[in-house]
Amino acid sequence: MVGAGEVGYHLAARLSAEQHDVTVIERDADLAVRMQAVLDVLVVEGNGASLTCLERAGIRGAELLLAVTNFDEVNLIACLIASQFGVGFKVARVSNPEYYEKRDVLEEARFGADLLINPEQECAREILKLFKRRAATDVAEFADGKVLLLALPVAAGAPAAGRTLGEIGRSLKGRHFLTVAIDRGETSLIPDGTTRIQHGDTIYLVSEAAHLDEAFELLGLAAQRMERAMLLGGGRVGTHLARMLEKEGIQPTVIEQDRDRCLVLAEQLNTGLVLHGDATDLDLLSQEGIAETDGLAAVTSEDETNLLASLLAKHLGAPKVISLLKRAEYIPLVTRIGIDAAVSPRLSTANRILQHIRGGKILSMAIMERNRAEAMEFEVQPQSRVAGRRIADLGLPRGAILGSIQRGNEIIIPHGDTQVETGDRVMVFALPHAIDETTGFFR
């Protein structure tokens, strides 16, 4: 691995915990020392674009190269060198949009890379998913979008509040969603039928997309379509997000402090409105009708600005506020201070890379920002420990639950007697302490 920043650290920690032999190249001496002291990995201090350094780190025997520094050129050169040594799979973190817009000239293979990851684009996708499901603080899609995993608050006076999951299930016609976890205060738990829902809980719900409105109603939430969004910041994340919103038929208004950047962005958008101003200017936000927008994303380059702007937006009545935070340790705190959700470009990047490199037949995966749980989608193989067995007999570790099954075109929200079959696409939710053991069931 090249780069020991936040993306590199997160990836190294996960891969090391799964018993992979990990070597990290980092040119910053302080970062190198810190990673060596905390993780069970080999750290080589040096330049990841140097042939000598890569050879010293053992590139000749490597099966995988992850080049995730903040410098696109270093990452691409590292992949190019690795391809000459026959490394099986090579990933480069690349932010410059030119590498994606001119694929006929700058395709991955020309750099020896198998996969290019754009952190800002991944982050914009995460925000878009949260915008489209306005009540959710986390969203992940599985089974080609037919199944959703959402973190949803239990509103005051919700029909589900004060009732057990067993009571709720017996009152419903059909089985279209499943509660796989609950965040209650500082703890996360995997519930059973006797667990009682409380106002203030955050419910992790697996639902068929077509039946989501029923789940929202139970939790006292409104399933409203987004029509207008305000973006504070017109940098790379803001630009990607504004374009995505336009494609979804959502009207974006972008407030950007740099006048030249405003002019560039205005030329790139079709229906979006670009305003020159300060993201923390109360008068400007109020004049532009922040309370009438359906959602706001603070996506400037500074965490502190995004947090302050998000708090101001909530104060002015914005119904849904998402904050972009580079420092992942801030993310679990945002809902406690009144912000609806937060995303991290570094974690979004790491999640996408893990999806491609984890052991087993992982089709997709997502890490819940708030409690660091993972949702993983597997294809059940004939040799898998779960093939041909009832869910009640699987013996999944405490802290893990099977949330959905796609069998052909059928979506199954399972119960204990449901049998898992070879070829099924299953989504499994696991709290952090159970992730490694759970993954082993599907190898």
Over 177-219, what HEC string results? EEEEEEEECCEEECCCCCCECCCCCEEEEEEEHHHHHHHHHHC
Mean pLDDT of 375-393: 92
163 in a domain, yes or no?
A: yes
What is the C-alpha to C-alpha distance for residues 108 and 92, in angstroms, rounded to an integer?
9
Predicted confidence at residue 179, as pLDDT, reads 95
255 & 364 share domain: no
Mean pLDDT of 361-384: 82
369 in a domain, yes or no?
A: yes
108 & 31 share domain: yes
The CATH number assigned to the domain holding 88 equals: 3.40.50.720
109 & 32 share domain: yes
Query: Please, which pLDDT band fits residue 361 given cuts at 50, 70 and 90?
Result: low
Predicted confidence at residue 373, as pLDDT, reads 86
232 & 281 share domain: yes
Written as six digits, the tokens of 235 are 């940098």
What is the C-alpha to C-alpha distance for residues 396 and 414, in angstroms, rounded to an integer?
14
Of the candidates 186, 218, 250, which is a domain's last residue? 218
Entry pTM: 0.83
In the predicted model, is pLDDT for residue 229 greater than 90? Answer: yes
Of the candidates 178, 195, 218, which is a domain's last residue? 218
Predicted confidence at residue 109, as pLDDT, reads 62
Tokens 């750290």 belong to residue: 43
Query: Please, which pLDDT band fits residue 104 given cuts at 50, 70 and 90?
Result: low
In the predicted model, is pLDDT for residue 182 greater than 60? Answer: yes
In the predicted model, is pLDDT for residue 100 greater than 80? Answer: no
Predicted confidence at residue 290, as pLDDT, reads 92
1 in a domain, yes or no?
A: no
Which of 345, 359, 302 lies closest to 93 in space, CA to CA?
Answer: 345
pLDDT, tens digit, 9 for 90 and up, residues 184-196: 988 889 999 999 9
In the predicted model, is pLDDT for residue 395 greater than 80? Answer: yes
Output the CA–CA distances (angstroms, integers) from residue 127 to 137, 164, 265, 374, in the order listed.
10, 32, 19, 18
| Tally of CA atoms within 13 A in the half-sphere of 5 that contains its CB | 17
Please state, rounded to an integer, the average pLDDT across all residues of the chain: 89
What is the C-alpha to C-alpha distance for residues 299 and 323, in angstroms, rounded to an integer?
7
Which of 369, 324, 316, 320 lies closest to 340 in space, CA to CA?
Answer: 320
User: What is the phi-psi region of residue 177: left when phi exceeds 0, alpha when psi lies from -120 to 50, beta otherwise?
Assistant: beta
355 & 338 share domain: no
421 in a domain, yes or no?
A: yes
304 & 274 share domain: yes
Binning the chain into helix, strand and coil, the percentages to the nearest 5 are 35, 25, 40
290 in a domain, yes or no?
A: yes
Mean pLDDT of 349-362: 71
Query: Please, which pLDDT band fits residue 108 given cuts at 50, 70 and 90?
Result: low
21 & 113 share domain: yes
180 & 239 share domain: no
406 in a domain, yes or no?
A: yes
Of the candidates 201, 218, 235, which is a domain's last residue? 218
Predicted confidence at residue 338, as pLDDT, reads 87
Instruction: List the Cα angle 431/364/230 in 5-degree steps.
Output: 90
What is the C-alpha to C-alpha distance for residues 381 and 299, in angstroms, rounded to an integer?
41
Q: What is the CA radius of gyration of the chain?
A: 23
The CATH number assigned to the domain holding 201 equals: 3.30.70.1450
Output the CA–CA distances (angstroms, integers) from residue 170 to 147, 165, 175, in the order listed.
22, 9, 10
In the predicted model, is pLDDT for residue 43 greater than 70? Answer: yes
The DSSP result for 256-324, as a single string, is ES-HHHHHHHHHH-SS-EEEES-TT-HHHHHHTTGGGSSEEEE--S-HHHHHHHHHHHHHTT-S-EEEE
Query: Please, which pLDDT band fits residue 26 given cuts at 50, 70 and 90?
Result: very high
Phi, psi of 317 (to 5 degrees): 100, 15
265 & 209 share domain: no
Q: Which residue segment(s) compose the domain that 12 sits in? A: 6-117
111 in a domain, yes or no?
A: yes
279 & 324 share domain: yes
Mean pLDDT of 414-439: 91
The percentage of residues in the chain with a pLDDT greater than 70, rounded to a whole number, is: 96
Total domain count for the chain?
Answer: 4
327 & 249 share domain: yes
Q: How many CB atoms lie within 10 A of CB 170?
A: 9
In the predicted model, is pLDDT for residue 360 greater than 60? Answer: no
Burial of 222 (0-12, 13-18, 19+ CB in 10 A): exposed
In the predicted model, is pLDDT for residue 359 greater than 60? Answer: no
pLDDT, tens digit, 9 for 90 and up, residues 322-342: 999 988 778 878 878 889 999
Taking each helix axis as running N to C, give the angle between helix 259-268 and helix 236-247, from 0 to 180 degrees, rounded to the nearest 10. 30
pLDDT, tens digit, 9 for 90 and up, residues 71-94: 999 999 999 999 999 999 999 999
Predicted confidence at residue 358, as pLDDT, reads 61
Predicted confidence at residue 106, as pLDDT, reads 55
Output the CA–CA distances (angstroms, integers) from residue 67 to 170, 350, 364, in the order listed.
51, 11, 21
211 & 104 share domain: no
Mean pLDDT of 296-307: 95
In the predicted model, is pLDDT for residue 36 greater than 60? Answer: yes
Mean pLDDT of 127-142: 88
Mean pLDDT of 392-418: 93
Question: CB-based contacts of 254: which residues, under 8 Å, 6+ apart?
Answer: 230, 231, 233, 234, 238, 242, 265, 269, 272, 273, 274, 275
What is the C-alpha to C-alpha distance for residues 367 and 376, in angstroms, rounded to an integer?
9
94 in a domain, yes or no?
A: yes
